[in-house]
Copies of this chain bind each other. A is one copy, B any other.
Amino acid sequence: MIVERIKTNIRKEAVEITSIVAKHVKGIKSGIVVVYVPHTTAGITINEAFDPAVMEDVLNEYMRLIPYSNKYKHLEGNADAHIQVILTGSSITVPIEDGELALGRWQGIFFMEFDGPRNRKIYIKIIEG
């Protein structure tokens, strides 16, 4: 298992990590890569990496659906982030073909920070087959 580290800069942020993942699958003829986030207030997803407005819209809608508020029972002020992670997911799985991620033309992999800024870890696990 490979461990990568990133630093986020604001409370809600979609950080593209496609190249961080892609470099580790070079030389793998066939298999899958699981990218796993070991945090409870950050998740991971796949979506358009071309127009940054897409992920801005995503974060805005997440904040509208699950607002920052003092109504929650969890008293650390980041219950919104925990819930947003569950709507997003803590891992993604992508097929590997001939040393490359089998992403679609417009797809990128995004680390979803919901309670930054923080120092974060990403686990990358490759299964050949």
Contact = CB atoms under 8 A, between A and B. Distances in A.
Interface of A: 1, 30-32, 34, 36-40, 45-48, 51, 53-54, 56-58, 60-61, 65-66, 72-76, 79, 82-83, 85-95, 97, 102-107, 121, 123, 125-129
Contact of A53 (B39, B58, B60, B75): B75
A73 B86 contact: no
Query: Could you say how many copies of this chain the assembly holds?
Result: 3
A85 B92 CA distance: 13
B31 A127 contact: yes
Contacts of A30: 1
Contact of A79 (B54, B92, B127): B54
B36 A53 contact: no
Contacts of A45: 86, 90
Contacts of A86: 45, 47, 58, 87-88
A123 B95 contact: yes
A65 B95 CA distance: 31
Contact of A40 (B40, B53, B76, B104): B104
